[in-house]
Amino acid sequence: MKSVAIIGAGITGLTAAFYLKRRGFAVTVYEASGRVGGVIQSLRRDGYLAEFGPNTILETSPKIAQLIRDAGLESRRMDPDPKSEARYVVRYKRPIEMPGSPLGFLTTDLFSWKAKCAVLREPFVKPRRDGVEESIGQFVTRRFNQEFLDHAIDALVAGIYAGDPQKISVAHAFPKLKALEDNYGSMIKGQIFGGRERKKRGEVAKDRAPKLSFDEGLQVLPDTLRERLGEAMKLNTTVTKLSRTTNGWRITTSSGESDHDAVIYCGTAHKLAELKIETGSQTLDLSPLSEIRHPPVASVVLGFKREDVAHPCSGFGMLIPKIEGFKILGCIFSSSLFPNRAPVGHITLTSYVGGERYPELASLPHDKLFELTCEDLRLLLGVRGKPTFQHCVFYPRAIPQYNVGFGRFKNLMNDIESKAPGFHLAGHFRNGISLSDSIVSGINVAESLSPS
Ligand SMILES: Cc1cc2nc3c(=O)[nH]c(=O)nc-3n(C[C@H](O)[C@H](O)[C@H](O)COP(=O)(O)OP(=O)(O)OC[C@H]3O[C@@H](n4cnc5c(N)ncnc54)[C@H](O)[C@@H]3O)c2cc1C
């Protein structure tokens, strides 16, 4: 039986280990911390259910439903309340619902006529074919206009990456948008004509993909996979060194050494940069990976009495462009999505602070974070009174930024794999940052290993 070491018990590593075990491999999962799930963190307290990392999985691929089925979690799956579809973007210091139809777009207050005309003109803007890598900011101002960047895309980039649109690469962070321009000459034309091809591949566009969670939050998924893995899990065990042996790899951890036929690294890029990998006479230099930026983010979850919030908060949440001058990056109306996130008569709001926009704010003491979040929510949603629940988690290195130039890191990762046979890399630092990308990456790497 082939033995595989998996480094990291975030969702990528757990998914890979789960499927390898099902295929008959002998797996061992090494996790540096004392818990599974990585950035996924759900907390049940005082009748509230708070999520500090991801809030939902986007079902962009049939592989997500496959994992839920294979893990035996279908009965615990929770789909959001169908009434929670609305999304808001802040403009003129108030949340405005995003239009859901072409007519809604033409009549919304969210954009001026100039911006609306820029969208109507987009199919006639010449595609760029000179191969120069652009930021999403450059791409959007070229194809639409500055207003569209400042009042929509800036907020979206903060909401997904906690990133800076002038730095985030359109090719690496939004490859599907770039492909629309490359293949159809326009994003609007591509949206219209590309749907059929996506359907053929069984894929769903991220903006249309169903969202899901579980009865006790997303932590249910890693906890269940951990149960299925049983003895294979080694918590509080940091892998510090890998050395190539005649038939495979020797792993050095904080508690000793062990030999495996193959190794899959599913940790973080900054920890990978510190890992020592010896392949016979060579030691691989992974240190450039430490240059991948990971801005800090604080997740602030607050509960309020329903009557203490003026806004109905029915919908997914609100995105906040920098130009509007608020400190929080955005807010998810968590108990509108999943009513079991708050006791009856209360609501739960999950806000994010920091990112590339205001990195210095993320590490403020918790009382300051609660204060600044309450102040923004007071102005935006008419929140008054004291929160009935408050909890905050600080992620010092939250999300890898796929900035312009990210290709050199991808090349380095490809190079490492080619110089280190039997050593594989998977996860959010390489194949897309979302939970669904991470799950698919875990499944793909597990399927790529041959049992013989
Ligand atoms: C605040 C926040 C909000 C997010 N919101 C969403 C969302 O709503 N929807 C969405 O789709 N995605 C979201 N994401 C992104 C998504 O959650 C992550 O990209 C995904 O969970 C990453 O999973 P992973 O397993 O690849 O990595 P991680 O979760 O980072 O897990 C890596 C694990 O590897 C371990 N490790 C690292 N090095 C070693 C070593 N040398 N030895 C042993 N163990 C090691 C770490 O301790 C860690 O447990 C969010 C992320 C954050 C931080």
Which atom of ligand 1 approaches the CA of 8 most closely? 34
What are the structural domains of the chain? 3-38+221-292+402-448 (3.50.50.60), 111-201 (1.10.3110.10), 295-395 (3.90.660.20)
Which pLDDT score is estimated for 431? 84
**Relative orientation angle of helices 435-448 and 11-22, to the nearest 10 degrees:** 30
- Separation in Å, CA 305 to CA 123, 149, 333: 47, 35, 14
Which pLDDT score is estimated for 254? 87
CA of 63 to the centre of ligand 1 (A): 19
Distance CA 451, CA 108 (A): 56
Choice between 196 and 165, residue whose per-residue pLDDT is larger:
165
Residue 203 clears pLDDT 70, i.e. is over it: no
**Beta-carbon contacts of residue 362 (< 8 Å; ≥ 6 apart):** 295, 296, 297, 298, 353, 354, 355, 394, 395
246: exposed, middle or buried (Cβ count in 10 Å: 0-12, 13-18, 19+): exposed
Distance CA 264, CA 317 (A): 36
Mean pLDDT of 376-402: 97
**Beta-carbon contacts of residue 106 (< 8 Å; ≥ 6 apart):** 116
Task: Name the DSSP class of 309.
Answer: B
Which atom of ligand 1 approaches the CA of 441 most closely? 26
Q: What is the pLDDT of residues 99-137, one digit of tens each?
A: 999 899 999 999 999 999 999 999 999 999 999 999 999
Distance CA 18, CA 227 (A): 10
- Ligand 1 binding pocket mutation candidate from 435, 439, 440, 444 (most atoms within 8 A of CB): 435
Which pLDDT score is estimated for 202? 65
Residue-averaged pLDDT of the chain: 95
Distance CA 403, CA 180 (A): 20
Distance CA 275, CA 339 (A): 43
Residue 449 clears pLDDT 70, i.e. is over it: yes
Q: Is 162 in the pocket of ligand 1 (CB under 6 A)?
A: no
Alpha helices (H) along 289-389:
334-337, 359-362, 366-381
**What six digits make up the tokens of 313?**
């908060």
Q: What is the pLDDT of residues 302-333, one digit of tens each?
A: 999 999 999 999 999 999 999 999 999 999 99
pTM value > 0.85: yes
Instruction: Please give the radius of gyration of the chain, using alpha carbons only, rounded to the nearest integer.
Output: 22
Task: Name the DSSP class of 46.
Answer: T
Half-sphere exposure of residue 122: CA atoms within 13 angstroms, side-chain side: 23
Which atom of ligand 1 approaches the CA of 299 most closely? 1
